[in-house]
Structure 1
Amino acid sequence: MAAPAIREIGEGDLDGLLALNNAFEAETSRLDTGSLRALVATAAFARMIGAPGQPPDALLIGLDEHADYDSVNYGWFRAREPHFLYIDRIVTAPHARGQGLARALYEAFFAWGRANGHHLATCEVNLVPPNPKSDAFHAALGFAEVGRATIKNGARTVRYLARAL
């Protein structure tokens, strides 16, 4: 099987990516066009898989420690790590699941991070509500828990994860 074509997110991709993101808002968080545009603009790594003009297959948006980003979870890492990468969101469309796209995006992100002098990748996974598939995926990639927090007025508990690059 050929490696998926990973490409940078462009302005013309935003509508499709917004729909994909918001279909999984319980796992990621809801965005509007302006907030997605701002997130992509501040991202160190904003990549997707999917042909232009077609519904996207997958996306990954990652930040470094210099991002202008107001997020409780990103802030948790920023308060503890002087130099890190943060995976803000990874989403694979239902029609593209099981094809290794999320893993390919993560591997591209890790390679980009190493090439740019980074040594630590971080993210969070929901504990409440549970996300066992994401837990298993991140464990298989070598992530380990480094902390927990209850957020959104007690509605969500997250596990903070990290791995060396």
Structure 2
Amino acid sequence: MALAIRDVREHDLDAVLALNNEAGTGILATDRARLRHLYEIAHYFRVAEQEGRIVGFLIAMRQEADYNSPNFRWFQAHYESFVYIDRIVIEQTMRGHGLGRIFYCDVQSYAEVRVPLLTCEVFLEPRNDQTVLFHGTMGFQEVGQQTMGQDGPKVSLLARELPSFPFVRERYLEQDGLPDVAWLAERQRPADLRGVSA
């Protein structure tokens, strides 16, 4: 019953796609091509695996990502530096056991040594008080609202300041950079490896 949080692998994508599209109204359905694009551009893309089965995932990216989501673009227009949580999905049988909090703590540990803000959105239509409350207890504050497209749902745009970042910036990022240790390494994205010969 051990649970592992690890970087996604290419062979996980079919399971991730199925999990995404079974998640219900709180997550936008996607297709193989769009998920492949997320796989290539995401700075953070981790899965939860239990007994060889993918039971959750979280996808996030930094401000320079080539991503046309209207919510991501809103944050690009308003903030210089951030990590944006695009989506988190937890399998139905695993909900309510703290896996969402584990993912949020993990993505925060990625973000807080790189940027001052962690951002995301939650749907306000249909109303989901559980999701809104979850983000509030994780320290997020509403910084805006918008409607996705002409007929899309209304969303609340959320941000959380990362209090560790000023220390990391002054001590490391403005000096010699982050230490060369495994837990601080960037994800090796397929987009990063294009044009690199062995």
Pairing of 1:1-165 with structure 2 (within 5 A)? 4-24=3-23, 26-51=25-50, 53-54=52-53, 56-115=54-113, 117-165=114-162
Higher mean C-alpha deviation, range 76-85 or range 22-31: 22-31
> Where in structure 1 do 4 or more consecutive aligned residues deviate above 3 Å?
none
TM-score relative to the length of structure 2: 0.77
In structure 1, how many angstroms separate the alpha carbons of the residues matched to 2:28 and 2:35? 11
Ranges in structure 1 where 5+ consecutive residues have no aligned partner: none
> Percent identity among equivalent residues?
40
Structure 1 residue 28 displacement after superposition: 2.0
Deviations 1:31-67 (A, max 9, x none): 111211110210010001014742x211100010010
For 1:128, what is the secondary structure of its paired residue? coil
Residue 69 of structure 1: SS of its match in structure 2? coil
Post-superposition offset of 1:129 = 1.4
Contact preservation (8 Å) 1:18, 1:32: yes
Deviation of 1:25 (Å): 5.2
Rounded Cα–Cα distance in structure 1 between residues aligned with 2:52 and 2:30:
21
Instruction: Give me the TM-score of the superposition, normalised by structure 1.
Output: 0.92
Higher Cα Rg: structure 1 or 2?
Answer: 2
Q: Distance in 2 between matches of 1:52 and 1:78?
A: 38
**Partner-residue secondary structure (3-state), 2:108:** helix
Task: Give the CA RMSD over aligned residues.
Answer: 1.7
Paired residues of 1:13 and 1:52 also in contact (CA < 8 A): no
User: Is this contact kept in 1: 2:2–2:50, CA < 8 A?
Assistant: no
SS at match of 2:146: strand
Report Cα offsets for 1:109-159 as digits up to 9, x if no partner. Answer: 0001123x2110000000111121110110110001000011232341000
Quote the Cα distance in structure 2 between the aligned partners of 1:25 and 1:31: 12
Find the residue that maps to 2:124 and give its secondary structure.
strand
**Secondary structure of the corresponding residue to residue 75 of structure 1:** helix
